[in-house]
């Protein structure tokens, strides 16, 4: 019998690139961008046929935990872990691995997943998770690489190496190299060579491998996590976590661990994945009319309008426009060119600098 399988769902970040709909008190993972379910609920729904609620661990911020609990009441309250402050994805995954071992009573396999992505082919994604969990039983770290559909400069890339034999229905390759977000020329070359995939940020590995790589590459973080072990699952857990968490260096799992990790492979996936990282990605990944227009909320009266996203509680009428983002909230109206939607973060930065925090 193999190692028990758990999911560590990272549900912390603020998702400021979907401002003004996404706010500090109502971040991206709580938004309903596809039907009546939030991005977070959709992420948990995808795990239903694979894992019982007791095998799902959610790590989030204190201001969000009650909302997430309300949205997924089947997950035990004890499985929601609260970060005292944001320290990056590496410490979060280290904490999730500790808690998975506590629940399993020993070594386990964990899928490190995000709470704010969209995936169109849910069944295909579930099949990939099953295969990846089987491969990671042997000590291999498995990352999921998204087959690119265009030359994105907004994603990191994974370059594949030699094919690796396995007992699943999926192609598996050794990871040759992780690459940071490229310029347009490099992105075009990587997409055309057939050897590169978008880095989805989703990994599966055994908790033993997590501990081994943290000890080797992040010894300070590993030492702090070891301090937590005796308190995990006890009444003192939150107090100890609050005391030591701020001493952990801020680190991304990609840069701090994966780029130099041992025995990493990639499974290419084509499951209609989107990180929903900008309003343009929402426009491109959400159901539209025949002219490419997306209405998230409200009513849109369109005349000669194409490739435009609308969110408003009032009627929005557009005439002779294309490639626009229109997001209307009670206190903010955003109108921007779709291809410039990543610049929303510049507005957020400006509001931060001017101390207009009520708008964030």
Question: Mind listing the pLDDT tens digit for each residue in 294-353?
Answer: 999 999 999 999 999 999 999 999 999 999 999 999 999 999 999 999 899 999 999 999
The answer to whether 10 touches 114, Cβ cutoff 8 Å, is yes
Phi, psi of 163 (to 5 degrees): -65, 150
Residue 1 has pLDDT above 70, yes or no: no
Angle between helices 219-228 and 237-244 (to 10 degrees): 160
Mean pLDDT of 232-255: 92
Distance CA(117)–CA(119), nearest Å, equals 7
Residues of the chain with CATH 3.90.550.10: 5-274
Residue 13 has pLDDT above 80, yes or no: no
Best CA proximity match to 59, nearest among 91, 33, 28, 37: 91
Distance CA(56)–CA(18), nearest Å, equals 26
pTM of the model: 0.93
Question: Mind listing the pLDDT tens digit for each residue in 89-138?
Answer: 999 999 999 999 999 999 999 999 999 999 999 999 999 999 999 999 99
CATH number of 5-274: 3.90.550.10
Q: What count of other Cβ atoms lies within 10 Å of the Cβ of residue 51?
A: 18
- What pLDDT sits at residue 15? 66
Distance CA(150)–CA(336), nearest Å, equals 22
- Cβ-proximal residues to 198 (8 Å cutoff; 6+ apart), any chain: 145, 146, 147, 148, 152, 155, 156, 157, 158, 273
**Structure-block tokens of residue 270:** 């084509």
- What pLDDT sits at residue 220? 95
DSSP 278-291: SHHHHHHHS---TT
């Amino acid at each position: 019998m193999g190692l028990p399988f758990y999911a560590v769902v990272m549900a912390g970040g603020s998702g400021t690139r979907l401002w003004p709909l996404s706010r500090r008190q109502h971040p991206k993972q709580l938004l309903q961008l596809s039907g009546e379910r939030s991005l977070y609920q959709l992420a948990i729904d995808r795990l239903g046929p694979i894992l019982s609620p007791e095998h799902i661990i959610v790590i989030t911020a204190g201001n969000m935990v009650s909302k997430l609990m309300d949205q997924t009441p089947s997950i035990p309250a004890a499985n929601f872990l609260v970060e005292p402050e944001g320290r990056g994805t590496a410490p979060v995954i280290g904490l999730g691995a500790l808690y998975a071992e506590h629940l399993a009573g020993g070594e386990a396999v964990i899928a490190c997943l995000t709470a704010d992505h969209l995936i169109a082919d849910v069944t295909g994604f579930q099949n990939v998770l099953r295969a990846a969990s089987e491969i990671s039983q042997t000590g291999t770290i498995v990352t999921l690489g998204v087959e690119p559909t265009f030359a994105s400069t907004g994603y990191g890339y994974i370059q594949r190496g030699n094919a690796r034999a396995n007992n699943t229905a999926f192609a598996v390759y050794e990871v040759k190299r992780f690459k940071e977000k490229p310029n347009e020329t490099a992105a075009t070359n990587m997409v055309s060579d057939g050897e590169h995939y978008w880095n989805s940020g989703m990994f599966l590995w055994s908790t033993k491998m997590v501990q081994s790589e943290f000890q080797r590459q992040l010894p300070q973080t590993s030492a702090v996590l070891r301090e937590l072990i005796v308190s995990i699952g006890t009444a003192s857990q939150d107090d100890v976590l609050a005391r030591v968490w701020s001493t952990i260096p801020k680190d991304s799992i990609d840069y701090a661990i994966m780029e130099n990790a041992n025995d990493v492979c990639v499974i290419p996936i084509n499951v209609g994945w989107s990180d929903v990282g900008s309003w343009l990605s929402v426009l491109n990944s959400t159901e539209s009319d025949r002219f490419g227009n997306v209405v998230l909320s409200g009513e849109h009266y369109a005349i000669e309008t194409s490739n435009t996203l609308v969110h408003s509680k009032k009627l929005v009428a557009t005439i002779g426009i294309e490639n626009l983002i229109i997001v209307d909230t009670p206190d903010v109206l955003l109108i921007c060119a779709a291809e410039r939607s990543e610049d929303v973060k510049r507005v957020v930065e400006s509001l931060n600098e001017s101390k207009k925090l009520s708008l964030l």
